[in-house]
């Protein structure tokens, strides 16, 4: 029987999971690093190659990424939709079945974080910058027919208004969180309950046995690491665009690619301090601040905008979401193909790429929770908050359009500006804009910091502790890829940012489907103890 890391020291409940493999067994030490020889090496080389080639050939790289994105979306839209729908069904089955009684870490396991801190960290890791970026832009885009409307609804009609909000919630709702939850549960269960190393390959032990410590597992972890880095880079790229737009709006600093890159470099420097402080003093503290600022921002908009109309929209968004979830989840002969391909498939690829990041982070903070509690928290709390967020932020913007107020009446010109264009029509616009800037910066830091922790876990062979400089390396890598995507995209930077995540999402989608089967197989060996 192998020696286990103290952090993940749990008795193995089934003899089938006995292994002599130790976390970090295949690691190499060099220059103060302690990393898995194959996973870190291949991942780092591929990422560095991408960075170098993009810097040398920015226009060609942007064109190649966009062509790859178009091909994947046209050929595999059905696979993304079917797979993500399957994730939701699987989560519901697990929650309603006896498998939901299983406690992560065993019957006597205790939680490590309070309920509030746990929910705050779940929210901050799974939402991040994107919700700020799209909170106004997405509903306005759907309502005004900026790159299609959901279900081909006629733009600028009452029906379009309701569907614009519920379709936004659809993209940020249970589909993405189910994907995160499956990965998070798999990591937590096989580490805390079965005593396997805390890395993604361990989740495949029921399928591959000892072979998961070899080349098969290396491929899984490499795909997870690369998908995570690109998923984080997407968020950082969007965050840089929005911060630059905010600086332009508040201080008159021109929003250019140079400004956006400068933002990434400066905030990456701030992120290093969070990395050094660690999970408890870094990510946890910033996540709690995020929630407080987010609630204050929502309350401010609710008071200053048309409160009664926003409350009506908040009450309407959830029934509309439920009634439209099936037609929006259909992949066959869609009449709204432009919207479906441009929005839904991009989001599903983004969530797939984010799933190792969010899932592993969820697993790290969820010891002591039951499987049922884990999924209910993952589904209910974030979705309620996200629904309210779109109702308030997007609803306020839609009211302005209905009242022929402000530049958003003309539709979206720059998605990163939409938030500030809505603020411009409110009292204390500059104060609100500065608050949003601070919130975006904090989301940027928590995304980069959490992502570095996750990628480092994957590439260090599942060791619970590792040198801080490894996390610094991954923060730098994610930031550099975000810079490369902005450079490669030029005027079409948003499209190129999306292309990077779609290209890395497809291969990891296959991994997720196999992981789902392996997870159920593993859970069934544990349920008899409950």
The tens digit of pLDDT for each residue in 437-461 reads 998 888 888 878 888 888 998 999 8
CA distance 344 to 515: 23
Q: Which domains does the chain have, with CATH numbers?
A: 23-529 (1.20.1740)
In 10 A of CB 526, how many CB atoms? Answer: 20
Q: Does 147 score more than 50 pLDDT? A: yes
Task: Say which residue, 345 or 62, is predicted with more confidence.
Answer: 345
CA distance 290 to 301: 16
Q: What is the pLDDT of residue 463?
A: 82
Contacts of range 346-349, beta carbons closer than 8 Å, 24 or more positions apart = 346/73, 346/498, 346/501, 346/502, 347/171, 347/172, 347/175, 347/176, 348/80, 348/81, 348/84, 348/175, 348/176, 348/505, 349/72, 349/80, 349/501, 349/502, 349/505, 349/506, 349/509
The pTM for the full model equals 0.90
Task: Say which residue, 234 or 158, is predicted with more confidence.
Answer: 158
* Residue 493 confidence class, pLDDT cut points 50, 70, 90: low
CA distance 220 to 232: 18
Q: Does 328 score more than 60 pLDDT? A: yes
Q: Does 102 score more than 80 pLDDT? A: yes
Q: What is the pLDDT of residue 279?
A: 55
* Residue 283 confidence class, pLDDT cut points 50, 70, 90: low
Give the SS3 label for residue 403: coil
How large a percentage of the chain has pLDDT more than 70? 94
The tens digit of pLDDT for each residue in 199-224 reads 899 999 999 999 999 999 999 999 99
* Residue 15 confidence class, pLDDT cut points 50, 70, 90: low
224: buried, middle or exposed (CB in 10 Å: 19+, 13-18, 0-12)?
buried
Q: Kindly state the tokens that stand for 350.
A: 């983004």
* Residue 294 confidence class, pLDDT cut points 50, 70, 90: confident
Q: Does 434 score more than 90 pLDDT? A: yes
Q: Does 529 score more than 90 pLDDT? A: no
Q: What is the pLDDT of residue 280?
A: 55
70: buried, middle or exposed (CB in 10 Å: 19+, 13-18, 0-12)?
middle
Q: What is the pLDDT of residue 5?
A: 42
Mean pLDDT of the chain: 88
Give the SS3 label for residue 22: coil
Q: Does 156 score more than 60 pLDDT? A: yes
For 342-356, 487-501, 506-520, which range has the lowest pLDDT when averaged over its residues?
Answer: 487-501
């Amino acid at each position: 029987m192998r020696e286990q890391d103290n952090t993940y020291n749990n008795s193995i409940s089934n003899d089938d999971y006995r292994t002599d493999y130790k976390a970090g067994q295949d690691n190499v030490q060099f220059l103060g690093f302690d990393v898995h020889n194959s996973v870190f090496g291949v991942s780092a080389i591929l990422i560095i190659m991408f960075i170098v080639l993009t810097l040398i050939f920015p226009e060609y790289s942007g064109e190649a990424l966009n062509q790859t994105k178009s091909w994947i979306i046209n050929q595999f839209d059905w696979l993304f939709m079917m797979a993500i729908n399957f994730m939701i069904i699987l989560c519901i089955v697990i929650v309603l079945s006896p498998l939901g009684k299983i406690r992560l870490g065993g019957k006597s396991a205790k939680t490590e974080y309070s309920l509030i801190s746990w929910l705050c960290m779940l929210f901050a890791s799974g939402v991040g910058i994107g919700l700020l970026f799209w909170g106004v832009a997405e509903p306005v885009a759907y309502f005004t027919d900026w790159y299609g409307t959901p279900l081909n609804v006629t733009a600028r009609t009452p029906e379009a208004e309701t569907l614009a909000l519920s379709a936004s919630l659809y993209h940020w709702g249970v589909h993405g969180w189910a994907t995160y939850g499956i990965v998070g549960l798999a990591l937590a269960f096989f580490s805390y309950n079965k005593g396997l190393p805390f890395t993604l390959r361990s989740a495949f032990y029921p399928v591959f046995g000892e072979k998961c410590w070899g080349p098969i597992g290396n491929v899984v972890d490499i795909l997870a690491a690369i998908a995570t880095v690109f998923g984080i880079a997407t968020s950082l790229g969007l965050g840089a665009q929005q911060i630059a737009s905010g600086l332009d709006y508040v201080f008159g600093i021109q929003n250019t690619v140079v400004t956006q890159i400068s933002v990434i470099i400066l905030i990456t420097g701030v992120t290093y301090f969070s990395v050094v402080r660690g999970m408890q003093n870094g990510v946890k503290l910033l996540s709690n601040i995020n929630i407080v600022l987010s609630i204050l921002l929502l309350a401010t908009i609710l008071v200053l905008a048309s409160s009664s109309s926003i409350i009506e929209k908040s009450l309407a968004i959830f029934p509309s979401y439920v009634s439209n979830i099936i037609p929006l989840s259909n992949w066959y002969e869609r009449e709204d193909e432009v919207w479906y391909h441009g929005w839904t498939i991009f989001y599903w690829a983004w969530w797939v790429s984010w799933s190792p990041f969010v899932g592993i982070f969820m697993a790290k903070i969820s010891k002591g929770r039951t499987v049922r509690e884990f999924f209910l928290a993952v589904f209910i709390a974030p979705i309620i908050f996200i629904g309210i967020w779109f109702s308030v932020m997007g609803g306020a913007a839609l009211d302005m359009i209905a009242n022929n107020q402000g530049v958003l009446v003309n539709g979206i010109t720059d998605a990163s500006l939409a938030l500030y264009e809505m603020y411009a029509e409110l009292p204390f616009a500059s104060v609100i804009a500065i608050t949003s800037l601070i919130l975006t910066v904090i989301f940027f830091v928590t995304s980069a910091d959490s992502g570095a922790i996750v990628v480092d876990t994957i590439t260090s062979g599942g060791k619970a502790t590792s040198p801080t400089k490894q996390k610094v390396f991954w923060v730098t890598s994610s930031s550099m890829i975000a810079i490369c995507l902005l450079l490669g995209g030029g005027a079409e930077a948003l499209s190129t940012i999306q292309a990077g995540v779609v290209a890395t999402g497809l291969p990891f989608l296959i991994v997720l489907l196999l992981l789902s089967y392996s997870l159920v197989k593993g859970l069934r060996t544990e349920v008899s103890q409950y």
